[in-house]
Each structure stands twice: as C-alpha cells, then as structure tokens.
Amino acid sequence: MPKKTLFILLSLTLSAQAAYAQGTEYDRYGRVYRDGAAPSSDRNAATDFLTYPLQILRWPINKTMVFVEKNHVDTRIEWAYDSLINRGITPHLGLVNPVKGHYGLEVDWVRLANQRNRFPDWKANSWIYGSKDIYFQVGSELGWQDVTGSGLGASGMVQYEKRPEVHFNGIGPNSSAGDGTSYKMETTTLGPKISYDPRPTVSGDVFFNYKNVNITNGEDGGRGIIDEIFAGQNIPGLAGDELLSLGTEWVHDTRNHRELSTRGGERRLAFSYNEGIAGSDARYFKYETELSQYLRLASERRVLAFHFHGEHNDEINNGTVPFHQMAQLGGFSGRPRNSQTLRSYDYNRFYDESSVLFNVEYRYAIWENREFRVDSVLFWDEGQVFGEFSEFKLNNFRESYGLGFRLSVANVVLLSLEGAHGDEGTKVYVKSRTPF
Amino acid sequence: MNSAARFASFFAVLVTLLPMAGFCQELKAQETGLYRDMFDQGIYYESTGLLHLDRLYRTLFRKEARSRDVNAFDEVPDNSFFINRHGRKSLTSDDLERGYTETPMDLSGPVSVVKGKSEGLHPGFFVRDTAGNNYLIKFDSFDYFELATAAEIISSRFYHAIGYNVPQYDVVTIGADQLQVGENASIIDDTGFKKPLNSEKLEEFLLFVPRDTDGNFRVSASKLLKGENKGFFNLTSRRKSDPEDAIDHEHRRDVRALQVFASWLNNNDTREGNTLDMLVEEDGRRYLKHYLIDFNSTLGSAAKGAKPPMFGYEYFFDGGETLKTFFTLGLLEKPWQRRWRESGEKITTSPALGYFDNSGFRPDKYKVQLPHFAFKNLTKADGFWAAKIIKSFSDGDIRAILGTGKLSSSEDVDYLAKTLVERRDIIAKYWFEEANPLDDFTYSGDKLSFADLSVKEGFASAENTRYVFDVIGKQGNKGSRLATVENGAPALQIQQDWFSQAQTLDILVRTLRGGKSLPPVLVEVNADQILGILHQD
C-alpha cells in the first residue's frame, strides 16, 4: 500500500475522533481537547486485574520500607553494631552451606574494661562461634601484642571445638562417595605462642600446642559407622589422639583487600612437628604452603585470581598421621570447615597424607552502584590427595568448575551464590565470603 | 464449594473491590522514601509491569501510548502539575532569577533550629527565621563546598521556569553565631534515636559542615510550603481520591517529560520520594497542588559529594546492563566506565562542580536512578515538547539562573554555563531529529505557515529540507484526498476551492531531510482557524 494512502487513512482515523475547537481564537495552551472533553484514564480494572493479588503482597513490604526509613531502623542497627565493636564486642553473622546461619562473638576484654588506652599491648580475647550441626568453638587468648611497637608478641591460648558430623569416605584419591561415614570430633587445644609482625604485610609465629582429639560416632546417624564400613583397614587415629605440636607459620600478605583483592597476593608457609602422647602412635612432620595471587586485567573490574594449596604430612620413625589431621579436600574452604576448596565435592570428601590444589577464578564486576557491587565469577578447581610423593598421579586429579555471583559493599562480601559441577554431581553454595 | 471455586470467588471480589477502594478514600497523606521507591520501581513494577495488559499489548506490538493530558494543539494546558512559563513566553532575567519566591529569609536576627532533618542523605535543620517563617536548611558536604547548595537553587529555578511547582529555594549565608537552638528542639543523631538538641550538640554537628572564608555557613534554604502535606505523588498512577487527578500519571506528558528535563539538569534522583502534594486553597479553590522538591542531587552533585560515575547511565538495579556485562564477561566497556577511565578515574573539575560534563552524554540513554513507566512511555512527541521548552532557554537565560547559585568562582559558573548550553543543544538536536520539529503554526485562511525548529536553531539547513503536504478534505466523517504539495518553504498556500469540497481540511505535513522522512504532523483547519495539531510518533 503506498505511503500516501497510509497517511490519508491515518488522517481519517484521527480526525474521526476530533471535535472542533469552539470560538475564533487559536488558544495554543487552552483547555481545548480533541474529543471535546477533558481526558481521563479509563484503564485499570480491565487491564490491571492480574496485578491485584501481587499488590496485596506489596502493601506490607511498602509499609515495612517506610517504617524502617522513617524510624531510622537501619541507622539504629548500624549504631548498635558499631557501639558493640567500640566496646570490644564483635558480633559475627554469616552463612554456611547448606543455608544455615553461622554466628559468632569475639570479646576484647581489655577494651570492654575500658583499659585499652592504659594497656595498649595487652591481649585478652575470647571467642565463641557456632553453626548448628557443623561446629561449635569457644576459646580464649591471653598475652601481649606488638609490645612497644616492636611487632613482638606472646600469648597463651585455650580452645574447645566440637564438630558433630565430619564426613569421612576413606583415605586416598580413589575412595568411594558411597562409603559415606561421619564422625564426631572434639578437640581441646592449649599452648603458648610467640608472634612477630614486623610490617603490616609480614607476620609469623612459633607455637607449642597440646591437642586432645576425641573421635566418636557422628551425630547425624545417617551415615555408616567408620569401624564397620572400614573394618579391616588400618585407619590411624580412629580412637582419637593426644598430640604435642611444635611449629611455625609465616605469612606475607600484599593483597589490597582481604576479600575481592585486585592486586598483590598472599603467601603462607607452615611447618610443625607433631608427636602423639598417652598411647597415641602419631609422629609426623606437617608441611603446608598456600599461595594466592590476584591479577588486575586492565581494570579493577576484571581480576584473575590464582590459588595454590599444598600439604604433606610425613611420618617419622614408624609413626602415623592420624586421619583427622590429614590433608582434606572438598567443599568450600574456610571457617567453619577444615577442608580445602574443591567445590563440586562434599566437604572433607578426600583424605590423605598429602594434597595439592589449584583454584583459578575469573572475577568480573557486572553491576556497580557507589560502593555496592556484584561480581560474577567463573572458577575451576583442580586437586588431588595422595600418600607419598611417588603416589602422585596426574590422572588422579579431580576437578570442579562453575559459576557464582558475589554481592559486596566496600570490598566486603555480603552474599555469595555459587554453583559447581564435577564428576560427583553439582553443589550450590550460599556464603558470605570468598574461598580465597 | 471446592477450593477452585473459592479461589475464583475470592479473586472476583478482589478484582471488583480493589479498584473501587481508591474512590472511597479521602485525600490521605501518602508516605514513601528511598527504600520504598527502590522496591516499588526497581523490583515490583519492573517485575510485574507486563502483567498490565495494556503495557503487554504495547510491548508486544511496539505501540506507543500518546499522552492524554495534551490539548487539541499538542500542548499541555496549565494544570496543578504544570504551568506553561518560559516555553510559552520568555521570562525576563529578573523573573528567572526570582523563581518562586514568597518572602526572603529574614536574617536580621537569630535563626532558631526547631529540629534536625531526618529524611534524605544531606544534613540539615528545620529552622525559624527572625520573622517567624519556617525553612528547611541544608549544608554542603565538607569537601564539596557550594556543590549541593548551588545545584539545589539552580535546578529549582530551572524547574520553576520550565513550569513545575517548586518551593521557594535560596542560597543563604548564616552567621556562625546566628544559629541558635530553639525551644524543645530535637535531632535524630547518628544513633538513629531522637535526642533533645542543645548548644553543645549543635556545635558538634556544625564542626562537620563547611564554612565560607568569613566563617559563616552557606546553606540552601527552602521555605516550608503552605497547605496540608499529603505526601508524594505517584509517577505511575493517579490519586483516585482526587477528583481533579483524572489521568494516570504515566500518561501525563508533564510527568513523562521529567525524564528529558532530568537529562538536562542531570537530576538522576527524579523519583516519587522527591515529589510532594499539598492541599492548598488558592483563589477560593481548594485543590491538590503537585510539587517537585529536593534538587541537591542535580548537576554534578549527589548525596555526600560528587555524582558517582555510573549515575545518569544506569538504574540502581539495572537488569539489562547487568546481563549485558555478564554475557560479555566484563569485557564490554560501558560508556560511563570509558568516561571515568578517560578522566583518569578522578574528578578533574572544581569540588563546587562535582562530576558533570557532556562526555558520552546521549539524551536517549539517560537514566534516572529508578525506572519509571512514565519515563519509558515517553513518545517522540513528548520528547519534542520537552526539548522545545529546554531550547527556549537562551545562553543568557541559563547564565541568569546560574547566578542564583552564588558560586564564588566565575570559572565554575562559566563551566556550568558551557556544559548546560552544550547539553541543551544536544538534547534539542536529538529530539528535533526524532520528531517532526514543526512548531508555531499560523494560519491566515489562505496560508498555513510554521517554523521548522531544526532549521531555526541551526541543526539543519533549509536547502536540504522539503515539506510534503497531503491535503484531505473532510465533510462530516468522510474524507478524500484533495492535493499533495511539495514545498521547500515551511508554508502551504491554501486554495479556497478546497473548502468548496470540504468543511475542514486535514493537512499532513511530512518533513524530508537527509533522505529521511520525519513522522508527520497533522494540522486540522477550517476556513478561519487552526482546529488541531498533532505530532505523530
């Protein structure tokens, strides 16, 4: 149809609705309308009915939002939190997988007693952490820190920790996911420590610990009993152990943020000698190294993050390495877990005397507003456990890969959602931090 | 009754009663704030928008919704939202500078602090001047002296001259010892709790606000409005309890055009929380008057300092932009990121200017911080209407208004003037190319003339422009094409024999420019006068 005809038709359609202005003046801003009457909205009931049920849901949310802002509820919470910290009490709230709360409280007794200015070097801290069915930890540390600005410190620590349902599928890279058992581990640790933090980027300590590890059946009841499933296998440490450890740990940290770092890295080296007492035949050296490096890819919004963790526990003089102190892989590392990040596998999925683990993440910002930011992360985890170095085999590596999103404010992660896939299935994590 | 029948009955009652609920209400005060605005606009409306069947239809079939508050001549008649001011007739410099002024703040004596301002992100106080008038005063951020106060006054003057209702705003200098604590004064301090305000607390607060070289405080002072406060006005729907509020606001041109004015003044904080309805009595008439308020997040200013680089480019929750970045693995550099990188990731202008330039500015891509259907509904005709108002501000007009910001550096004034003039022209050029920019129609009975604003403003040359007139004779509801005339001049000679065949003429004017045919303008005339004008989308 020719364009002109279209215009004519359009004109006819429009003008059919027109009612002519009255009078002789062309009052450009006058209340003269095409249909002769002031217009009004005629939609709503006919077109909006699908939204009515949703408006009922919206109403309480609107009321809550207005109430929070009008009554400064957010400011009050922030003030209460800051006030607690200023008084020496630091509350912690987080998420662990599956979606469970992780709570904690740290108390700086010197600050709580309002004596921090008087005794700036004193250290008197206590803490309590917990997450239902996962762990409970309580402890205290007493001593001196950064004495007269020298970086030197000395302290004594006592801590009790209970893990009611630690998973165990056997030792070695080829253990079966079907052989799932769990055990309950209660650990009491006490001992002195000398620390040296000469610069903000370097810290180290030398420690001597007594550790009592008590192993009993897991509380979840859904998994087999270790003694039955692994009957006939000589798993060291099943009866628990009492250990004395002498060790040292050094950290060099050049990251620009503790989380979501965009440059620098962290290097951690640890070594300890461990000796079983009171009937325990444990005797081994533990070597551990951890490296992370963050590379900014032409912008703060794109970061390639590398992480390596290696651990070797070396028996000496016919001693053993208790299974509960072995290298462990699986899940999402960090508090409250004690196994290293291999995200598509169950927590503590692999145990052995040694492990190597590589993690690579490509992190990139997909949304920013002021200090709020959402990063998307593509990751690849590659790791294996093995006994002696001669048992290390390339084809024993297990991998996980996946995708995640991390919401942060001022480079502190508030919420992380990650999904990982591997040969034992897919796992989803809801967290409030990064794995490294 | 089974559960399905029960649900159907419940739903039927709901569908019947909910729309009626509005009509049963009195004019109640509506409350909102940043959080509610963010939820409503950023989440609720964004996710339920297409459940409105008319929107769904328009989205599926790419249909535009014409504004419903326009008159037969495609203009917005004066109403309780908007009064044609500068666009109708150029205001004098004095008028532009004066803006809306009732009585200047009386600073002959002490200024009493009545209470602290508890809403919003800028620090401030409600105060009473020596004459007993009440004001809201707001300070600049410590490192950005003059920024927020200047932005507030300058933009309030622009919005007023454009045609919106705004409170009285002024930059005021208050002596250091002039601010005194009034009787029963209170403040919501950083604990979030209401506390009595005493001299010590006031002094403590004032330690964190900047002073001028004489040690005085520079504030933006807005006089509290007369009438009953009825809260915000919705940018999407009408207030059904107000009989004068007949058109859903998303279909009001004066509301839709806020998007265009926001792009000019960089008012990314245009949202419901920054509107106010006052029940007023004027000339014996009691009605709801609709105001725009709070302009200190305009130009280069935002809460607590300069505008963050993404403001104006993305919504707070911007699903489209987020997905784009996600699927391109963060490799795609967004315009605001490029602009920020090119400036060395720092603000290179004076602190009093904040972050405001035209680098990478595109009128069609400008976003206020929350999505609104009113702004998404903006048609080419709406954009043209707003752009011609913006273009009605001459360079001198802009400079006159900038003077009200009382910036201490003339270089800063020059920079702002240059930026606003450039941005005015970018916006006008864009909308004059999108719509058919024909305006100022005159008709003498034998000749229809008009101005082509693109040619008039120098955006296009007259030599490269042709106008095609399709003349349709109308007799009752029947019409027939009488002639097609092509002309190089913006005028059409009316042949009187056309009226021998028709009562009225519908003249469709198309503009051919640069190989492109712009949307037609329909002009309806009879033998004596213009009956209607309609810019097509």
Q: Which of A41-45, A416-420, B45-49, B416-420 has the lowest mean pLDDT?
A: A41-45
Which pLDDT score is estimated for A37?
65
Q: Work out the angle at residue B300's Cα, subtended by the Cα atoms of residues B296 and B304, and round it to the nearest 5 degrees.
A: 55
Given pLDDT bands bounded at 50, 70 and 90, which one contains residue B62?
confident
Tokens for B12? Answer: 């039927």
A62 and B19: CB-CB below 8 Å? no
Choose the mutation target among A4, A9, A14, A28 for the interface with B, i.e. most B CBs under 10 Å: A28
Given pLDDT bands bounded at 50, 70 and 90, which one contains residue B14?
low
DSSP state of B272: G
- Output the average pLDDT for chain B: 92
Tokens for A371? Answer: 């200090």
Given pLDDT bands bounded at 50, 70 and 90, which one contains residue A62?
very high
- Judge contact between A343 and A174, C-beta under 8 A: no
Here the ipTM equals 0.85
Cβ neighbours of B326 (radius 10 Å)? 16
A342-352 pLDDT, tens digit each: 999 999 999 99
DSSP letters along A97-154, please? Answer: TTTEEEEEEEEEHHHHTT-TTT-TTEEEEEEEEEETTTEEEEEEEEEE-SGGGSSEEE
Please give the Cα distance from A427 to A421 (Å, whole number): 7
Q: Which of A197-211, B118-132, B212-226 has the lowest mean pLDDT?
A: B118-132
pLDDT at residue B21 greater than cutoff 60: no
A76 and B247: CB-CB below 8 Å? no
Q: How far is B425 from chain A (nearest CA, A)?
A: 25
Q: Among B525, B351, B78, which residue's Cα sits nearest to residue A11?
A: B525
Which pLDDT score is estimated for A13?
44
pLDDT at residue B236 greater than cutoff 80: yes
Which pLDDT score is estimated for B121?
57
Residues 252-311 of A with CB under 8 A from B: 299, 301-302
Which pLDDT score is estimated for A219?
85
**Mean pLDDT, residues B64-84 taken together:** 94
Q: Strand runs (DSSP E) across B242-367, as ranges?
A: 275-282, 285-292, 301-302, 305-306
Alpha-carbon distance values, B226 to A90, B282, B305, B450 (Å) = 48, 11, 31, 42
Measure CB to CB from residue B32 to each of A10, A41, A66 and give the nearest one: A66
Q: Scanning every residue of chain A, which has its alpha carbon at the shortest distance from the alpha carbon of B35?
A: A65
Chain A CB contacts of B19 under 8 Å are 44-45, 48
B350-368 pLDDT, tens digit each: 999 999 999 999 999 999 9
Which pLDDT score is estimated for B96?
97
Contacts of the segment A251-255: beta carbons below 8 A, 24+ positions apart: A251/A202, A251/A203, A251/A204, A252/A201, A252/A202, A253/A201, A253/A202, A253/A203, A254/A201, A255/A292, A255/A294
A369 interfacial to chain B (CB closer than 8 Å): yes
Measure CB to CB from residue B33 to each of A43, A69, A79 and give the nearest one: A69
Measure CB to CB from residue A11 to each of B76, B316, B508 and give the nearest one: B508
- Judge contact between A250 and A288, C-beta under 8 A: no
pLDDT at residue B412 greater than cutoff 90: yes
Q: Work out the angle at residue B513's Cα, subtended by the Cα atoms of residues B507 and B517, and round it to the nearest 5 degrees.
A: 55
Close Cβ partners of B266 (under 8 Å, ≥ 6 residues apart): B298, B299, B300, B307, B311, B312, B356
A30 and B77: CB-CB below 8 Å? yes
B119-152 pLDDT, tens digit each: 655 678 999 999 999 999 999 999 999 999 999 9
Q: Scanning every residue of chain B, which has its alpha carbon at the shortest distance from the alpha carbon of A60?
A: B36
Cβ neighbours of A304 (radius 10 Å)? 14
Q: What length is written for chain B?
A: 537
Q: Work out the angle at residue B332's Cα, subtended by the Cα atoms of residues B329 and B334, and round it to the nearest 5 degrees.
A: 130
Please give the Cα distance from B416 to B158 (Å, whole number): 13
Chain A CB contacts of B72 under 8 Å are 18, 21, 32-34
Cβ neighbours of B273 (radius 10 Å)? 23
Given pLDDT bands bounded at 50, 70 and 90, which one contains residue B12?
low
The percentage of residues in chain A with a pLDDT greater than 70, rounded to a whole number, is: 91
A66 and B33: CB-CB below 8 Å? yes
- Helices B395-402 & B147-162 angle (0-180, nearest 10): 130
Which pLDDT score is estimated for A23?
37
B314 and A366: CB-CB below 8 Å? no
Given pLDDT bands bounded at 50, 70 and 90, which one contains residue A17?
very low
Please give the Cα distance from B429 to B423 (Å, whole number): 10
Which pLDDT score is estimated for A331?
93
Given pLDDT bands bounded at 50, 70 and 90, which one contains residue B176?
confident
The percentage of residues in chain B with a pLDDT greater than 70, rounded to a whole number, is: 94
A268-310 pLDDT, tens digit each: 999 999 999 999 999 999 999 999 999 999 999 999 999 999 9
pLDDT at residue A360 greater than cutoff 90: yes
Given pLDDT bands bounded at 50, 70 and 90, which one contains residue A3?
very low
Which pLDDT score is estimated for B3?
61
A14 interfacial to chain B (CB closer than 8 Å): yes
Q: Among B80, B252, B48, which residue's Cα sits nearest to residue B164?
A: B80
Q: What's the per-residue H, E or C state across B442-505?
A: EECCCEEEEEEHHHHCCCCCHHHEEEEEEEEEEECCEEEEEEEEEECCCEEECCCHHHHHCCEE
Please indicate whether residue A369 or residue A22 has the higher confidence score (pLDDT): A369
Q: How far is A435 from chain B (nearest CA, A)?
A: 21
Which pLDDT score is estimated for A133?
86
**Mean pLDDT, residues A204-208 taken together:** 97
Chain A CB contacts of B536 under 8 Å are 10
Please give the Cα distance from B197 to B201 (Å, whole number): 6
Given pLDDT bands bounded at 50, 70 and 90, which one contains residue B11?
low
Tokens for B500? Answer: 């021998």
Q: How far is A39 from chain B (nearest CA, A)?
A: 6
Q: How far is A259 from chain B (nearest CA, A)?
A: 19
Please indicate whether residue B286 or residue A8 has the higher confidence score (pLDDT): B286
pLDDT at residue A21 greater than cutoff 50: no
Category of A114 on φ-ψ map: left (φ > 0), alpha (ψ -120 to 50) or beta: left
Please give the Cα distance from B301 to B355 (Å, whole number): 7
Residues 186-215 of A with CB under 8 A from B: none
**Mean pLDDT, residues A115-134 taken together:** 94
B464-478 pLDDT, tens digit each: 999 999 999 998 888
Measure CB to CB from residue B52 to each of A32, A48, A74 and give the nearest one: A48
The order of strands in the sheet holding B111-116 is B169-174, B217-223, B134-139, B124-128, B111-116, B179-188, B194-196
pLDDT at residue B208 greater than cutoff 60: yes
Q: How far is A393 from chain B (nearest CA, A)?
A: 34
Which pLDDT score is estimated for B119?
62
**Torsion angle defined by CA atoms of residues A220, A224, A226 and A231, in that order, rounded to the nearest 10 degrees:** 170
Alpha-carbon distance values, A380 to A301, A343, A400, A428, B148 (Å) = 19, 9, 6, 15, 47
B44 and A54: CB-CB below 8 Å? yes
- Judge contact between A430 and A424, C-beta under 8 A: no
Please indicate whether residue B157 or residue A5 has the higher confidence score (pLDDT): B157
**Mean pLDDT, residues B412-420 taken together:** 98
- Judge contact between B384 and B452, C-beta under 8 A: no
Close Cβ partners of B437 (under 8 Å, ≥ 6 residues apart): B384, B388, B431, B452, B453, B454, B511, B518
Please give the Cα distance from B33 to B294 (Å, whole number): 13
Chain B CB contacts of A296 under 8 Å are none
Measure CB to CB from residue B522 to each of A14, A74, A75 and give the nearest one: A14
Q: How far is A106 from chain B (nearest CA, A)?
A: 23
Q: Scanning every residue of chain A, which has its alpha carbon at the shortest distance from the alpha carbon of B32?
A: A66
Quick one: which H or E segment has residue B19? helix B3-24
Q: What single-letter amino acid sits at B504?
A: T
**Mean pLDDT, residues B210-226 taken together:** 94
Please give the Cα distance from A115 to A112 (Å, whole number): 8
Which pLDDT score is estimated for B50?
85
- Judge contact between B381 and B67, C-beta under 8 A: yes
Q: Scanning every residue of chain B, which has its alpha carbon at the shortest distance from the alpha carbon of A55?
A: B44
**Mean pLDDT, residues A317-337 taken together:** 90
Measure CB to CB from residue A365 to each of B330, B481, B506 and give the nearest one: B330
Q: Which residue has the tokens 């752009």?
A: B387
pLDDT at residue B403 greater than cutoff 60: yes
Please give the Cα distance from A64 to B40 (Å, whole number): 12
